[in-house]
Structure 1
């Protein structure tokens, strides 16, 4: 038999043990033997007691990092809860970013009377907060437009034939593009998949052109601005 290599359970193992304990009522000594047989881990009775005290949590919470073993206690639970509720409330209404969450948690901390210096609201703190609460960057899903690749491929031979009689410096390509300078980002921080909102279409139309030899390229011409 292989030697015992672990002294604690990870999150996935705690969940599986709680499912087993829910369906099989035993003494703590029997649970210890079951864990030893299952994972070759010899845990203490206090570990069994601690896991069973949080049985509802392990049975209902989604396991984000199965191999994680320790969950550090949150310094100020009320602040953690307030920021998480803010995200759950506004993730469908506005675009959330790291900078916005940092500023919001500072305001929440002040409102809760948290003494200054108790927490350093750094990017590292925010990363751990998001990890604890299952918050990640989500792309806003909406309508998408696709280029007609078949038509493009069919037109290329004709275009090459027409341009063959001209030197590269006299062959220009020009196209226009829209600069949506008031358009919101298409990613936001959230706990679940989000749907996009109506977009601000105010924009500037810009024409860009370049010749084949590269002597003139990406010269912008602002054509018009409209909403």
Structure 2
């Protein structure tokens, strides 16, 4: 599950998916991604507590980019690491260099294998840094200095991966240009396709909460239609 706009609300959902899979005897593992700011939300603690008690096959991946919008990690939590929070819930927590692609793959793979074998949940803290603004409405110069950013620039995962691939003879400028052009074409086409989809009607908000619409929702839908008629 990707990062959710209402911060942290998707963590309990991921645990629910994992719990359902466990009850059904499936080998499904739920992986949920969130930022360091989400660790201050009640949903985070409820989700990890449930996952610990019932040993659900859940991987909690915290992308710790040092800032929750403008709040630095030092004001977000007093714990030395985010990974160590897992101790309180009775399962493993691991901190990894979030800018090292291969390290992230390795710890995630290990956590998946553990979850599938009945070992329960894992909290992974990927330590990284947010170079740009949080959103287009954000101005990071208001709360951090250029001096704070400089040490992280050489650790940019894109730069590190590019250098690694070049060293292995798997990357060059020609390959990069070709792949960049191909990716841009895909993005442009995706935008065209998305803009061609007609906007949903107001009735759509009632259709996807439950597999079958409940009587109260049907009543509300009927009322909405009558007011729009």
Alignment TM class, shorter chain as reference: under 0.3
Provide TM-score, normalisation by structure 2. Answer: 0.22
Provide TM-score, normalisation by structure 1. Answer: 0.22
Larger Rg, first or second structure (1 or 2): 1
